[in-house]
Amino acid sequence: MDFELTAEQQMLKDLCRDFARKEIAPYADEWFDAEYFPTEIFHQLADLQLMGLLIPEEYGGTGAGTMAMVAALEELGKVDQSIATTLQAHLTIGSLPFLHFGTEEQKHKWLTPLARGERLGAFGLTEPQAGSDAANIQTTSRLEGDSWVVNGTKCFISNAGTPLSYGLVALTADSAGGNGKRAYRAIIIPKDTPGYTVGQPYKKIGWHTVDTREQVFENVRVPRENLLGEDGSGFRAFLKTLECGRISVATLGLSLAEACLNMSLRYAQERKTFGKPLASHQAIQFKLADMATQVDMARLMVYRAAGLRDQGRPYAKEAAMAKLASSEIAVKAAEEAVQIHGGYGYTRDFPVSRFYLDSKILTIGEGTSEVQRMVIARQLGC
């Protein structure tokens, strides 16, 4: 399989690297510490046509594809994981349900503003009692006249509470009872619908500038045409959407590990102990060698999954493997990077501490490591 980027993909990667260096890097720590969501950056990303990379031109995107998305996210994620996270959630789980399951009318109405970057996409699956056990959602929808009436609570939902948010697509079911045979429905819920409350942002360990909040629905009424996909197909649609989401989260892991390697290498060449640079001590060299090897492993796995998707070939197993491996590589790389920086790495004066704080979520969000193993085992026929 060919992992070389095309000239266009390379240009996009270079563009993202320059943008991240100039427009994000100088402010990333300040935004993180202030827990500030930089809306202006997403206007700029929209101007650069980065908000619809997976969406065809007819619906406002560029149709650049998965390899291009991975290349772009890799550069942004090396500088600021929160910005890259917000963008990846928008590009994949926030937008793809409309592309894959929407009618023409729904695509023009909801997807085009997302792909143009006028709006930010959000995906409402998780509930207080249902994360890994996603089929156990309790949010209900029932048809009353020409409206769906939605009741329930979603938790940990990213991108639904920003000035750019339109609302979210929520997974609901026809009854609140258990994991039995229920009709699951994906329903579009616009913000400002009466009865829909967006909670306060969570206080998180990392991802401080990612907008993550609870969403509460109390007799929320939306028009019948806000059903996305067939009645009863919502659960399958959500699981299908997560397959591509795994590639983009895996890219966050790759970029985080790469950033940690780069910072550690630089620091190890500058900092001296026992009369010589840290990088001259074999114990530190081995850490750096392991980090570099693991970054390469993550890159190969992420680009393989992206390449398979672009070729229209099955990629569910490879995406889950890439997400599992690259998130765990990122956690380890962040830990080693702080270790190499010593006491300075433990202070917020060095960005390596931000990457350390941002790393842990990668083994949890969009399916924990355990869930990825379940997906892989299922694909193996277990």
- Footprint on this chain of ligand FAD (rule: CB under 6 A): 89, 123-126, 131-133, 156-158, 204, 207, 212, 361, 364-368, 370-371
- Please list, residue by residue across 328-348, b when 16 or more beta carbons sit within 10 angstroms of its beta carbon and e when fewer do: bbbbbbbebbbebbeeebeee
Q: Checking DSSP bridges between strand 227-232 and strand 212-223, what pairing results, if any?
A: unpaired
CA distance 41 to 361: 23
Other beta carbons within 10 Å of 271: 15
- Please give the radius of gyration of the chain, using alpha carbons only, rounded to the nearest integer: 21
| 226 HSE (CA, 13 A, CB side) | 23
> Please, which residues bridge with residue 213 across strands?
157, 201
338 vs 371 by CB, closer to ligand FAD: 371
264 vs 372 by CB, closer to ligand FAD: 372
> Considering the complex, what minimum distance in angstroms separates the CB of residue 278 from ligand FAD?
33
Token pair, residue 341, equals 């920086």
132 vs 219 by CB, closer to ligand FAD: 132
Token pair, residue 55, equals 């969406």
279 vs 361 by CB, closer to ligand FAD: 361
207 vs 267 by CB, closer to ligand FAD: 207
> Considering the complex, what minimum distance in angstroms separates the CB of residue 126 from ligand FAD?
3
> Considering the complex, what minimum distance in angstroms separates the CB of residue 80 from ligand FAD?
15
CA distance 67 to 356: 26
> Considering the complex, what minimum distance in angstroms separates the CB of residue 215 from ligand FAD?
9
Is 366 among the catalytic positions? Answer: yes
CA distance 183 to 372: 25
- Contact assessment for residue 49 and residue 110, using Cβ atoms and an 8 Å cutoff: no
- Three-point CA angle 228, 230, 232, nearest 5°: 105
313 CB-contact burial (10 Å; exposed 0-12 / middle 13-18 / buried 19+): exposed
356 CB-contact burial (10 Å; exposed 0-12 / middle 13-18 / buried 19+): buried
Among 152, 208, 156, which Cα is nearest to 176's? 152
CA 2 from centre of chain? 25
Nearest residue relative to ligand FAD (C-beta) = 131
130 vs 301 by CB, closer to ligand FAD: 130
For residue 271, give the 3-state DSSP assignment: coil
10 vs 132 by CB, closer to ligand FAD: 132
CA distance 281 to 268: 9
User: Of 75, 127, 336, 366, which is the active-site residue?
Assistant: 366
Catalytic machinery residues: 366
